[in-house]
């Protein structure tokens, strides 16, 4: 029997700690498939901070660094500058990146730091109990917003990709999703383009990925996937948001 798709060598074959219906596992699979395809396992380093991303080192069979909450871009900056030939991945959730780590990421993108961010957006604080996140939708209920997010008091969901796309140092920004097989394939293509750009020395790259969190959304997994399609994608449209790498011969920034 011909093997169509084996288990990625860069992914440990262990049981997951993530909740049923969580998108992190699919994202891990996509990342490790690409690392295997690039032959980059021995030269890949991932930085994974506080939040559900904190478990990433349990699954990725390559080097990892666990920075303090929100400081992942600073750690990734130092690693990439010291080891510019390595594939450096900054793996962050919406709380870590769009709240406590906002300043870190904005300045890293503005400097054109040559690492790739994988930004997992599930519109909620997943690990700490479902509190409202910077990306929580208007009207969406959370532990700290039991009646739903009110923009008069809590503001509006932050579109991080669009925010970073406006900075000169950012070279490739895309937004995908893992709610179905088609979107997962497109997301993989976005990440591959970001990884290729990084390995060519081009500036800051990021792929935002919409992911479901059934536990903290208070939904069954199938319902959560449908909610993501119906409610999240209209607020956070999918596709390439900024692409200056196709015609680029080199990077800008530090």
Q: Is residue 9 part of a domain?
A: no
Q: pLDDT digits over 20-37, tens only? A: 889 999 999 999 999 999
Q: Is residue 15 part of a domain?
A: no
pTM of the model: 0.93
pLDDT band at 251 (very low <50, low <70, confident <90, very high): very low
Q: Is residue 89 part of a domain?
A: yes
Of residues 48 and 237, which shows the higher confidence score? 237
Q: Is residue 5 part of a domain?
A: no
Find out whether 111 and 85 touch, Cβ atoms under 8 Å. Answer: no
6: left (phi over 0), alpha (psi -120 to 50) or beta: beta
Q: pLDDT digits over 132-187, tens only? A: 999 999 999 998 899 999 999 999 999 999 999 999 999 999 999 999 999 999 99
The closest of 172, 233, 182 to 205, measured between CA atoms, is 172
Number of domains into which the chain is organized: 1
The residue to which tokens 């015609």 are assigned: 247
Find out whether 144 and 95 touch, Cβ atoms under 8 Å. Answer: no
Q: Is residue 139 part of a domain?
A: yes
Name the helix (H) or strand (E) containing 177.
strand 170-177
Q: Which domain holds residue 108?
A: 24-243
Q: Can you tell me whether residue 122 is helix, strand or coil?
A: coil
Q: Is residue 184 part of a domain?
A: yes
Alpha-carbon span 37 to 58, nearest angstrom = 21
- How many CA atoms lie less than 13 Å away from 94 in the CB half-sphere? 28
pLDDT band at 252 (very low <50, low <70, confident <90, very high): very low
pLDDT band at 17 (very low <50, low <70, confident <90, very high): confident
Which pLDDT score is estimated for 47?
Answer: 93
Nearest 5°: the CA angle 100, 71, 124 is 40
Position 247 pLDDT exceeds 90: no
Lowest mean pLDDT among 44-53, 82-91, 101-110, 171-180: 44-53
Find out whether 211 and 178 touch, Cβ atoms under 8 Å. Answer: yes
Q: pLDDT digits over 98-116, tens only? A: 888 899 999 999 999 999 9
Q: Is residue 85 part of a domain?
A: yes
CATH classification of the domain holding 103 = 3.40.50.970
Q: Is residue 199 part of a domain?
A: yes
The closest of 228, 186, 208 to 21, measured between CA atoms, is 228
């Amino acid at each position: 029997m011909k093997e169509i798709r084996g288990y990625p060598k860069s992914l440990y074959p262990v049981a997951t700690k993530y909740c049923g219906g969580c998108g992190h596992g699919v994202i891990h699979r996509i990342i490790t498939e690409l690392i295997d395809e690039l032959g980059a396992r021995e030269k890949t380093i991932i930085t994974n901070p506080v939040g559900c991303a904190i478990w990433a080192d349990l699954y990725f069979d390559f080097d990892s660094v666990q920075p303090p909450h929100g400081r992942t871009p600073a750690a990734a900056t130092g690693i990439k500058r010291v080891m510019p030939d390595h594939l450096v991945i900054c793996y962050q959730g919406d709380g870590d990146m769009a709240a406590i780590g906002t300043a870190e990421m904005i300045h890293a993108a503005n400097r054109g730091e040559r690492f790739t961010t994988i930004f997992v957006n599930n519109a909620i604080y997943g690990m700490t109990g479902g509190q409202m996140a910077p990306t929580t939708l208007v009207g969406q209920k959370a532990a700290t917003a039991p009646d739903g997010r009110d923009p008069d008091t809590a503001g509006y969901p932050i579109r991080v990709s669009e925010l970073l796309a406006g900075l000169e140092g950012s070279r490739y920004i895309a937004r995908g999703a893992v709610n179905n097989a088609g979107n997962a394939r497109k997301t993989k293509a976005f990440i591959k383009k970001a990884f290729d750009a990084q390995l060519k020395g081009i500036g800051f790259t990021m792929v935002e990925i919409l992911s479901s969190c059934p536990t903290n959304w208070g939904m069954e997994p199938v319902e959560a996937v449908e909610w993501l399609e119906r409610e999240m994608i209209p607020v956070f449209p999918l596709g390439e948001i900024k692409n200056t790498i196709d015609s680029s011969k080199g990077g800008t920034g530090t």
